[in-house]
C-alpha cells in the first residue's frame, strides 16, 4: 500500500508542483465549489495510475489545486465510497495522498440522513465525533509505519479547535449550524428503520456512507480534521416518505449556496 501511495504521489508530482495546506473533500451538492476557487491546476483521477475512480453519477473525479483567499488547498471533487466495491485501504488512499502532498488539515463534507429527531432536511451539522462500528477500519492490515502508529488514539478525531472555527464562521456568515455525532454505515442501500433506531441509540445524530473512514486515515497520519454534514433528509422510518437519491441531491443543492459560503469562511479562519 505504501508503494502504491508513493507511485500515485510520483505521478502527481510529475504533473504539478503545489504544496497544499488544507485538503478539502466535497460531498453531494458541493461538487461545483471547486470551480469557484482560484484554480491553479487540476488532475483527473483517471490520470493517476492505481488511483480508485468513483462510479457515482455526478461525481467528477479530479483533484483541484488552488487558493481559497490566501490558503493553498487541494480539493477532491468526487470521492470514492466503500459501497463501490473498493477495499477500505483504497477508499482512503486519496486522503492519505493529500496528506503526503503536504496538507496539514483535512476538511470533510458530506450529505447525511438525520437520525436526531430535532434535525430537519437542509440543516448543516458540525461533526463532533463519529461511530464506525458499521464499517471495517481503514487501518486494518499491515500498519504503514511511515504514516503513523499501529494503535492510533482517536479521542479527538474532529479537532476541538476547528470545531470552534466552524462555530465562529457560521456566526459570521449568518448560517445556522447543528452539532452531532456521525455514524458511518456501508450503504449503498439506505438503512432500515431498525438500523436507524440503533444508530440513534448508539449516540448518533446523522448517518452516512463516507467520511468517518477518511477522518480516521487522516488522524492516523496526524492531520488536524474537521467535518460538516448537510442533513439532506430524515433517516428511514422517521417521516412518511421513502428515501431516494434525488431528494438527497435536491436538498443538498438547495442549501449549497450557504454551505459554500461557510466552507470558504472556515478555510480562511483555519
Which of 131, 127, 78, 119 lies closest to 231 in space, CA to CA? 119
What count of Cα atoms within 13 Å lies in the side-chain half-sphere of residue 228? 35
CB of 210 to ligand HPA, least distance (A): 8
156/250 with CB nearer ligand HPA: 250
Binding track over 92-111 against ligand HPA, x by CB under 6 A: -------------------x
Interface residue with ligand HPA among 248, 255, 262, 270 (CB under 6 A) is 248
255 binds ligand HPA (CB under 6 A): no
Let me know: does 56 contact 81? Beta carbons within 8 Å.
yes
Q: Is 83 annotated as catalytic?
A: yes
52/208 with CB nearer ligand HPA: 208
> Looking up cell 430524515, which residue turns up?
234
Q: Is 54 annotated as catalytic?
A: no
63/82 with CB nearer ligand HPA: 82
Burial 216-245 (b: 16+ CB within 10 A, else e): bbbbbbebbbbbbbbbbbbbbebeeeebee
Distance of CA 118 to the CA centre of its chain: 23
In the complex, the residues that contact ligand HPA under the rule CB under 6 A are 111-113, 190-191, 207-209, 232-233, 235, 243, 248
Active site residues: 28, 59, 81, 83-84, 111, 209-210, 233, 245
Amino acid at each position: 500500500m505504501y508503494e502504491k501511495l508513493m507511485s500515485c504521489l510520483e505521478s502527481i508530482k510529475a504533473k504539478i508542483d503545489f504544496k497544499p495546506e488544507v485538503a478539502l473533500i466535497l460531498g453531494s451538492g458541493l461538487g461545483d465549489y471547486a470551480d469557484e476557487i482560484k484554480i491553479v491546476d487540476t488532475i483527473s483521477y483517471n490520470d493517476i495510475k492505481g488511483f480508485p475512480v468513483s462510479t457515482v453519477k455526478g461525481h467528477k473525479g479530479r483533484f483541484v489545486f488552488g487558493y481559497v483567499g490566501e490558503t493553498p488547498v487541494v480539493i477532491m471533487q468526487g470521492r470514492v465510497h466503500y459501497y463501490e466495491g473498493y477495499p477500505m485501504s483504497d477508499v482512503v488512499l486519496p486522503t492519505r495522498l493529500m496528506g503526503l502532498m503536504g496538507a496539514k488539515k483535512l476538511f470533510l463534507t458530506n450529505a447525511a440522513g438525520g437520525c436526531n429527531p430535532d434535525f430537519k432536511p437542509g440543516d448543516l451539522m458540525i461533526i463532533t465525533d463519529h461511530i464506525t462500528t458499521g464499517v471495517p477500519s481503514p487501518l486494518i492490515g499491515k500498519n504503514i509505519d511511515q504514516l503513523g502508529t499501529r494503535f492510533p488514539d482517536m479521542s479527538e478525531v474532529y479537532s476541538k479547535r476547528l470545531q470552534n472555527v466552524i462555530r465562529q464562521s457560521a456566526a459570521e456568515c449568518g448560517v445556522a449550524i447543528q452539532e452531532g455525532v456521525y455514524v458511518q454505515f456501508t450503504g449503498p442501500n439506505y438503512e432500515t428503520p431498525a438500523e436507524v433506531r440503533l444508530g440513534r441509540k448508539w449516540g448518533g445524530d446523522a448517518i452516512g456512507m463516507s467520511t468517518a473512514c477518511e477522518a480516521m486515515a487522516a488522524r492516523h497520519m496526524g492531520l488536524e480534521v474537521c467535518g460538516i454534514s448537510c442533513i439532506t433528509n430524515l433517516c428511514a422510518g422517521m417521516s412518511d416518505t421513502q428515501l431516494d437519491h434525488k431528494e438527497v441531491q435536491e436538498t443538498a443543492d438547495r442549501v449549497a449556496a450557504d454551505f459554500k459560503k461557510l466552507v470558504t469562511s472556515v478555510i480562511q479562519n483555519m
